[in-house]
Structure 1
Amino acid sequence: MMAVRAGVMAMVMPVTLLGGGAMASARPQPEPLSRGPEPVLALGRFAGYGPGQTAVTYDPKLVPSGAAAAVAYVPIADGHASVQLRAQGLLPNRRYGAHVHTNACGSKGEDAGPHFQHVQDPKTPSTDPKFANPRNEIWLDFTTDGQGNGFSRAALERRFTDRRPHSVIVHADHTHTDPGHAGQAGARLACINVDF
């Protein structure tokens, strides 16, 4: 595992530059409020769970070992931020759901905990559209192209504070929005550790 400062280039760095299981990330350092934290970049190739593994696959049929992912968090000067997800080597022409989660990846998809919410729902799992929505959570659903590459971006109206998420989970389906199912996206197929 290697930690480096990630600049704006993190947003355009191609996933093809990944080495097997390599990761680059930066933990924001305290800075004046007007400047905000530094960007963060996590890079990894999917494999089975193990210590130090950045990208973990729980279903190699749908997220093959060796497929790659990059997640970038970029704070913007006006207090907003964005999270971007880029994937390569997944199944072609397939819809995947993806969300930012509270805990780091573990040996099971459930280890990543619930979705990160800016305003937390007192009920878990959260299926109330008042809490489980793309403004309160960070949804990164994407559809792969014919080569199995996918991209998504979520604009955040606020930055993370002392409560930070620690992973992105790739799900089997695009995210539902109807009451009682809001925020659900099927099985947890894979996980990417991100040092937000």
Structure 2
Amino acid sequence: MILKTIKDRRSVRLYDENKEISDETISKILEHGHYAPSSKNSQPWYFVVIKNKKLIHKIMNAKTPERPEGKNLLIDQKEFNETNIPKAIVAIFFEKRRSIFVDPRFYGGKVKSYFLNVGGFAYSDLVNIGCVLQNMALTAHHLGIGACITGDLLETGINPEIYDWVKINKKDFQLVSGIRFGYPKNELGGKPNREPLNDRVKVI
């Protein structure tokens, strides 16, 4: 079953505007995200579930001048309408005190310079969040929910304002990514395009 789910999953960006997602379904997605593996079982993630329609519209309607679509996702582009608005967005934050860099359970709470890092994260911390996102996306697909992992929450016009919108302390938490959810507007497409596996593998 899991193998089929992995191959059948798609990123869904168009949603059925008339169909809501139950709290029970969202809880199930969060639960399976929470079961993702993490370095030394640090579980550094923190979830903020956004279901407030005004806030979702605010996020989706934010000015993002760096994007090729234009300055405003909804107003400037006719193709952006209610079908692009998810029923829920889960913002995934990294709880800084749980990093293996600083958690006193690991390495005495001292930063170890031999760890590769980016933006203050250990790479392993970012991989942990990636595992969460994959679990959530696969669980959503299994439940018939469309999901789209997104970095939009990190863009100008949303970040850093989102910390105030969702009342999260930036000193203790750092936004890493987000994932949108909604029932698919259309049937999912066919097999995704993938380059030959042999072009991406070296066996030594």
TM-score bracket, normalised by the shorter chain, equals: under 0.3
Higher helix share: 2
Greater gyration radius:
2
More strand, by proportion: 1
TM-score (norm 1): 0.25
User: TM-score, normalised on structure 2?
Assistant: 0.24
